[in-house]
Structure 1
Amino acid sequence: MKKIILSGILLLALGCMTQAQTVPVYLDETKPVEERIEDALGRMTLEEKVAITHAQSKFCSPGVARLGIPEFWMTDGPHGIRPEVLWDEWDQAGWTNDSCVAFPTLTCLAATWDPKVALLYGKSIGEEARYRNKTVLLGPGVNIYRSPLNGRNFEYMGEDPYLSGKMVVPYIQGVQQNGVAACVKHFALNNQEVNRHTTNVIIDDRTLYEIYLPAFKAAVQEGKAWSIMGSYNLYKDQHCCHNQYLLNDILREEWGFDGVVISDWGGVHDTQQAITNGLDMEFGSWTNGLSNGASNAYDNYYLADPYLKLIKEGKVGTKELDDKVRRILRLAYRTNMDRNRPYGALCSEAHFAAARHIGEEGIVLLQNNNNVLPIDLNKAKKIAVIGENAIKMMTVGGGSSSLKVKYEISPLDGIKKRVGDKAEVVYARGYVGDPSGEYNGVKSGQDLEDSRSPEELIAEAVAVAKDADYVIFIGGLNKSAHQDCEDADRKEIGLSYGQDKVIASLAQANKNLIVVNISGNAITMPWVKEVPTIVQAWYLGTEAGSAIASVLVGDVNPSGKLPFTFPASLQDVGAHKLGEYPGTPRNDGSNIVDEKYNEGIFVGYRWADKEKTKPLFPFGHGLSYTTFTYGKAVADKKVMGADDVLTVTVPVTNSGSREGSEVVQLYISDLKSSLPRSIKELKGFCKVKLAPGETKEVTFTIAKEALSFFDDTLHEWVAEPGKFEAIIAASATDIKSKVSFELK
């Protein structure tokens, strides 16, 4: 029988065991995990049980050394492993071996529309977390893209619940095969950063279940996530880190979640609610998790001494405590007490290659009039690169996902390296955005100060651009406050720093202008008709410059598709058109802000369809250097029963001259419903690679779940008999074929 003999034996030999430590501890690995959990639980003291439910440092909670239960170490973030900080401070610990690979942010991952890439992503980042001996990776994020002003959209997977759900599952599986728990966040309704601690979301159950919960449900029931992070905001006047309806009623009772609920840092506000409303582990910053207080104040946390005091005074029982500890012990057995978990790897060549591949797969070619791209290096003699984002490091900043990287290849350096001596590459600044480069003590090392006026910068850029064969403007947003950054929303949907004027000037100076927008959010483009070629490049991490250069020169045929809609203006977004964002302060003396989701289920392309507005670029849009021809879609039956599965097949041909990949999208339309429904909803997609002239058949299966809506009066999913359409499309507005069928 395989046993681990733990530290109690040594203490017994030394004659220094307390009454609670008089029995040597054996953890029999032949026993079922649940039995071992009960055994360990029965050996823990009350004080040990309470201690294990809250932090003991910025990113660590205690185990039980006496029983050989190790500490739990958490790490940000969803696209790279955060550098080490001091035990009780946010300052850098000063390690020299905690640099990481920065993977592209999750908007880019979603833009790949490829679950295989999501699995590679999860596996790679999970290996980095495991090598650093982390228990829990605080990610991925799957909050729905409701407003293009949300500063944290870059960390999430877009506007569609189906796409987010299909991409998050393999990410989780990839992470957890390393014995590291994925912590899916932020549960739930955390759709803006302004007033994030005080916003009370008002939403109907139908919208909650159809739009904002499906990706989390997929993460739990299909991805088998081992942990979930509560969000900062309130819902039903309870903070989401201790929310009865979200955590107990839905997460545990309806979905059967058996993992650990972890608070966001400082997301706990009440001991009694933290005890009863589903929270397991409390983390934070200071005494109350939010503001400065006593150093090493972890015993003052809501689930620390205040909890212990209530138990000892007989005001609360220990049933909830034992349930919390069971779940925490289950987490331990799945992670740092699993002797078979692999060792991981850090900054390996495989990880750098994975980061580059993810970036290449996610870059979206939005517009390519006159086939300006790919750049022909056999003809180009001079290439002008303009813009601050061509040189600015993007891995530092953005909030908790800020990273300390082994290296970061800038777009300018990536282009120079790929072009080599085939053409001259010249650079001009064009504009000055944010010249700083530091977050939480991690410094980019760049000095981007420039005292020249906007007029001088534009004049230089135009002069450089006039005689170039190609002009590449690389701009967009950055990771500074009020751009793409935690704890602050954007102030406008347009580009900052006068970039629109720079782009318009360049468009007049050179007809071969390529605009590369680096952002995690949609922007408006008043120059869209003047610029022939537009590329959406995201925050691509360590290999950013290499991935961008590969696409620009045609080494890689772009195949990314937008995971969210680019609206023509902010008034084309339901959350803004209906006037509630960012919420209405209460006049009751509290600091609570009520934010009503007046647009309901009509988010993103659903809103554009309903209002018949033409987006700047639609959800699911993305071009290629080749062309694809769709044949007629065919269904295997015209009438399906409630238990039937309908199969829809469509032939897709590469009608161009080079290999490429197309994302074939399936939407479902309910032609007559008792409740208002979206005109169409994404219910399937498939990324298919085709050689020139090659045809492949893409097949989708449709069950009644794809036809259902959530009836909040019955509190159940309903598929009504009637007529439906299966819509085959290349984007939300590029419809290729329709098949009618009936549900009996």
Structure 2
Amino acid sequence: MMGYLFVMSAKMNSQQVTAQNNLDQSIEKSIDKILLQLTLEEKVAMCHAQSKFSTPGVPRLGIPEIWMSDGPHGVRGEINWDDWGYAGWTNDSITAFPALTCLAATFNPKLSKKYGVNVGEEARYRKKDVLLGPGVNIYRTPLNGRNFEYMGEDPYLSSKMVVPYIQGVQSNGVAACVKHYVLNNQEHWRDHINVEVSDRALHEIYLPAFKAAVQEGKVWSLMSAYNQYKGQYCSHNEKLNKILKEDWKFDGALITDWGATHNTKEAALYGLDIEMGTGTDGLTISTKNAYDYYYLANPFLELLKKGEIEESYLNDKVRRILRLMYRTTMNKNRQFGKANNQEHLDVAREIATEGIVLLKNENSFFPINDTKKITIAVIGENATRSMTIGGGSSELKAKNEISPLEGLKARYKNANIIHAMGYESGPSVYAKVLPATLNAEKLKKEAIEVASKADVVLFFGGLNKSHHQDCEGGDRQSYGLPFGQNELINEITNVNQNTSVILVSGNAVEMPWHNKVKAIMQTWYLGSEAGNAIADIISGDVNPSGKLPFSFPKKLEDNAAHSFGKISYPGDSINQIYKEGILVGYRWHDTKKIKPLFAFGEGLSYSTFKISEVKVNKKSFSKNDIIKVTCQVTNTGNYDGSEVVQIYVGKPKSKVNRALKELKGFQKVFINKGNSKNIEITIKSSDLAFYDESISDWNIENGNYVIHVGNASNNIVSKLKIEVE
């Protein structure tokens, strides 16, 4: 296949590289010719929106429009031209894929590639040129309403999972748009909060996934964050633009988040290429001729005509936009795409089952056999509630969504399944939480009665993508479960000790009932095949293999961001200081010896695995060497299954403050029961560098390092000492 469709290959041979370079040069020459034919007005028009989700082309020259769509785990329903209402189409339903927390929990880059290919096909079928995702902002606090859209707390994991996702999407001739660049780690005050963070934390924690997206994934577009960094908005931030376009050599287009532009001159000078969603009343709501008054519209044109801004800045933006067009909407070799086919549903189900994390399984509560003698109580609103709607811009119009109750009933043909709602949260809405309409005490009483009659209880709780839960535009207001769930779980365990909790959420939650229940399962927002995937795991048809992509602190104060008080989170409404520096997530728990409820990388299986014969290829390395860690993994249990071997590295007696250990490698391996496999994980010795603020660059310390090998950050089975010269 010609064009930009083969550029995403992970390994291109020399002929492909030569062909790609020739194609790039040909396109750049074509862009040179187009730039000469465009008027100043036409070039400026290309730099801003013409509708809620499109930018104009130039009909006079046959240059097409660019059409964009949310979101990271499915193509959003069609929005009206000029407002946020849905257009009412009947042919815009799609496959809902699991949210990105679930994808990260798979620890499986190959699945990430599948995810990207399939969601990219759906975007292409819907004639979208830019898919606004994936998100790679770091999980800093469990209160962030948008964490479910991201890939967890670790920059290495996020980097390794985002690259194949991008490659998959862009193999369809659809641009991925990695977001939100950068430090958009909370929704509260997101539109203006000024983040102060050390250069070291910025480069070691918050930038790596974006850097990998640009340099390894070759992403074609990026979306800026709403917040400020060092007093400048991220959409037009001088320092961030230098990092992106000069240091990393990003050749794509920087697109604002909707309404994130604030200044014409800064937008012109500091890297913004396409302005979306600004509006003229400050609320990102259109008024008559609003698009002509965007910061990069008439105000930009006036400054150009006055000579206050050189036209070279405009030409660079238009060049990037045309390059984006040649890769997408002007790529004549694009396929037509696919939507709602069985293949997409199968991939969604596969990702969902691999991402589900079994956190507790006392006395082998799971899996549950399907027999006529068993009565299963399914309790909780989340057993029947739709989870594809809500959540803000990532809400989806799924053609089908299998609820957990539906999935269990389809799988358990023999068992007696009884259901009670238990609690009610109210309708899922974006702007506010509507009041519940049912009697809470009556719901609780019914649930307790149902639980008392059952052999086992499956309590489906968690969050539900309503405002102040897992939702764009606002953070959670409490670490605990809402709507009286904690009390209800306690009362259910009083009448039936054979109770499990299946959490549906994109965030960690407090679990005061942890010791009272037999099993705990974290299931995320799983999309169209949610119920089937959950039934696959509960029944044992699929052996769980997910690992947590972020830590679950016992209490909110155990989280690093919250341990320093309000100036660290959520800030004082004007400024916010990331006082924990590089000690985010497990780095904080490990280094400060604060035991989490559940640790990063943790996740159980129905089988058991042994990691043995851990070796390293040599003991001493130079800064350009490859460190090879080998080990044998044996499935010592009674089920075929997968294990994730995780490699962490620490530097004792460092001259700078460091975390006890940091993830530097992982590999997921499937092993039949009773069998063993030998695996090798490679680490570049250069990956052991820290960001040295004294030289504003990366630096590798000489001396001893410790390699930690295990299957979770809190379950290290072997330590090896090496030396770097």
TM-score band, normalised by shorter chain = over 0.9
Deviations for 1:678-722, whole angstroms, at most 9, x for unmatched residues?
000000000000001111112112222221111011111111110
Partner of 2:214: 220
Partner of 1:53: 47
Work out whether residues 430 and 467 of structure 2, in 8 Å CA contact, stay in contact via their aligned partners in 1.
no
Deviation of the 1:211 alpha carbon? 0.3
Q: 1:413 aligns with which of 400, 406, 423?
A: 406
Work out whether residues 91 and 440 of structure 1, in 8 Å CA contact, stay in contact via their aligned partners in 2.
no
Work out whether residues 372 and 416 of structure 2, in 8 Å CA contact, stay in contact via their aligned partners in 1.
no
Inter-CA distance 380–244: structure 2 relative to 1 (3 Å threshold): farther
Deviations for 1:209-238, whole angstroms, at most 9, x for unmatched residues?
000000000000000000000000000111
Partner of 2:7: none
C-alpha root-mean-square deviation of aligned residues, in Å?
Answer: 1.7
SS in 2 for 1:229: strand
Work out whether residues 202 and 236 of structure 1, in 8 Å CA contact, stay in contact via their aligned partners in 2.
yes
TM-score normalised by length of structure 1 = 0.93
Work out whether residues 656 and 692 of structure 1, in 8 Å CA contact, stay in contact via their aligned partners in 2.
yes
Separation in structure 2 between the aligned mates of residue 282 and residue 84 of structure 1, nearest angstrom:
20
Identity of matched residues, % = 54
Give the letter aligned to residue 170 of structure 2: Q
Work out whether residues 105 and 356 of structure 2, in 8 Å CA contact, stay in contact via their aligned partners in 1.
yes
Give the letter aligned to residue 427 of structure 1: H
Deviations for 1:451-481, whole angstroms, at most 9, x for unmatched residues?
2233x32221121112212210001001101
Partner of 1:501: 487
Partner of 2:202: 208
Inter-CA distance 686–372: structure 2 relative to 1 (3 Å threshold): same
Give the letter aligned to residue 164 of structure 2: P
Deviation of the 1:672 alpha carbon? 2.1
TM-score normalised by length of structure 2 = 0.95
Separation in structure 2 between the aligned mates of residue 293 and residue 689 of structure 1, nearest angstrom:
53
Larger Rg: 1
Separation in structure 1 between the aligned mates of residue 24 and residue 252 of structure 2, nearest angstrom:
22
Pair 1:401 & 2:401 matched = no
Work out whether residues 360 and 558 of structure 1, in 8 Å CA contact, stay in contact via their aligned partners in 2.
yes
Pair 1:709 & 2:690 matched = yes
Separation in structure 1 between the aligned mates of residue 411 and residue 683 of structure 2, nearest angstrom:
45
Deviation of the 1:42 alpha carbon? 1.0
Partner of 1:482: 468
Q: Which moved more, 1:143-152 or 1:306-315?
A: 306-315
Q: How does 1:517-536 map to 2 (within 5 A)?
A: 517-536=503-522
Q: 1:458 aligns with which of 440, 444, 449?
A: 444
Deviations for 1:646-670, whole angstroms, at most 9, x for unmatched residues?
2111111000011000011000011
Partner of 2:31: 37
Work out whether residues 425 and 436 of structure 2, in 8 Å CA contact, stay in contact via their aligned partners in 1.
no
Partner of 2:188: 194
Pair 1:105 & 2:99 matched = yes
Separation in structure 2 between the aligned mates of residue 702 and residue 29 of structure 1, nearest angstrom:
33
SS in 1 for 2:254: strand
Separation in structure 2 between the aligned mates of residue 634 and residue 30 of structure 1, nearest angstrom:
44
Partner of 1:726: 707
Partner of 1:444: none
Partner of 1:582: 569
Work out whether residues 139 and 182 of structure 1, in 8 Å CA contact, stay in contact via their aligned partners in 2.
yes
Separation in structure 2 between the aligned mates of residue 508 and residue 156 of structure 1, nearest angstrom:
37
Separation in structure 2 between the aligned mates of residue 380 and residue 296 of structure 1, nearest angstrom:
68
Partner of 2:420: 428
Give the letter aligned to residue 345 of structure 1: K
Pair 1:743 & 2:711 matched = no
Separation in structure 1 between the aligned mates of residue 551 and residue 428 of structure 2, nearest angstrom:
30
Q: 1:152 aligns with which of 137, 140, 146?
A: 146
Inter-CA distance 661–82: structure 2 relative to 1 (3 Å threshold): same
Separation in structure 1 between the aligned mates of residue 221 and residue 300 of structure 2, nearest angstrom:
22
Q: How does 1:258-277 map to 2 (within 5 A)?
A: 258-277=251-270
Give the letter aligned to residue 721 of structure 2: S
Separation in structure 2 between the aligned mates of residue 623 and residue 583 of structure 1, nearest angstrom:
34
Separation in structure 1 between the aligned mates of residue 301 and residue 278 of structure 2, nearest angstrom:
21
Separation in structure 2 between the aligned mates of residue 500 and residue 732 of structure 1, nearest angstrom:
28
Inter-CA distance 285–96: structure 2 relative to 1 (3 Å threshold): farther
Separation in structure 2 between the aligned mates of residue 186 and residue 225 of structure 1, nearest angstrom:
14
Partner of 1:622: 603
Deviation of the 1:293 alpha carbon? 5.1
Inter-CA distance 664–294: structure 2 relative to 1 (3 Å threshold): same
Deviations for 1:407-435, whole angstroms, at most 9, x for unmatched residues?
11111111111112x0111100111112x
Deviation of the 1:642 alpha carbon? 2.2
Pair 1:491 & 2:474 matched = no
Inter-CA distance 309–380: structure 2 relative to 1 (3 Å threshold): farther
* Structure 2 residue ranges without an equivalent (≥5): 3-21
Separation in structure 1 between the aligned mates of residue 620 and residue 417 of structure 2, nearest angstrom:
61
Inter-CA distance 293–70: structure 2 relative to 1 (3 Å threshold): closer
Deviation of the 1:502 alpha carbon? 0.9
Deviation of the 1:438 alpha carbon? 5.0
Work out whether residues 396 and 439 of structure 1, in 8 Å CA contact, stay in contact via their aligned partners in 2.
no
Pair 1:360 & 2:346 matched = no
Separation in structure 2 between the aligned mates of residue 702 and residue 233 of structure 1, nearest angstrom:
34
Deviation of the 1:517 alpha carbon? 0.3
Partner of 1:12: none
SS in 2 for 1:631: strand
SS in 2 for 1:529: helix
Inter-CA distance 584–104: structure 2 relative to 1 (3 Å threshold): closer
SS in 1 for 2:165: helix
Deviation of the 1:583 alpha carbon? 4.2
Separation in structure 1 between the aligned mates of residue 149 and residue 571 of structure 2, nearest angstrom:
26
Partner of 2:632: 651
Inter-CA distance 356–614: structure 2 relative to 1 (3 Å threshold): same
Partner of 2:553: 567
Partner of 1:9: none
SS in 2 for 1:472: strand
Inter-CA distance 190–30: structure 2 relative to 1 (3 Å threshold): closer
Pair 1:636 & 2:597 matched = no
The number of aligned residues is 703
Work out whether residues 82 and 286 of structure 2, in 8 Å CA contact, stay in contact via their aligned partners in 1.
no
Work out whether residues 380 and 470 of structure 1, in 8 Å CA contact, stay in contact via their aligned partners in 2.
no
Q: How does 1:295-314 map to 2 (within 5 A)?
A: 295-314=288-307
Work out whether residues 188 and 570 of structure 2, in 8 Å CA contact, stay in contact via their aligned partners in 1.
no
Give the letter aligned to residue 185 of structure 1: K
Work out whether residues 283 and 289 of structure 1, in 8 Å CA contact, stay in contact via their aligned partners in 2.
no
Work out whether residues 369 and 539 of structure 2, in 8 Å CA contact, stay in contact via their aligned partners in 1.
yes
Work out whether residues 204 and 690 of structure 2, in 8 Å CA contact, stay in contact via their aligned partners in 1.
yes
Give the letter aligned to residue 158 of structure 1: G
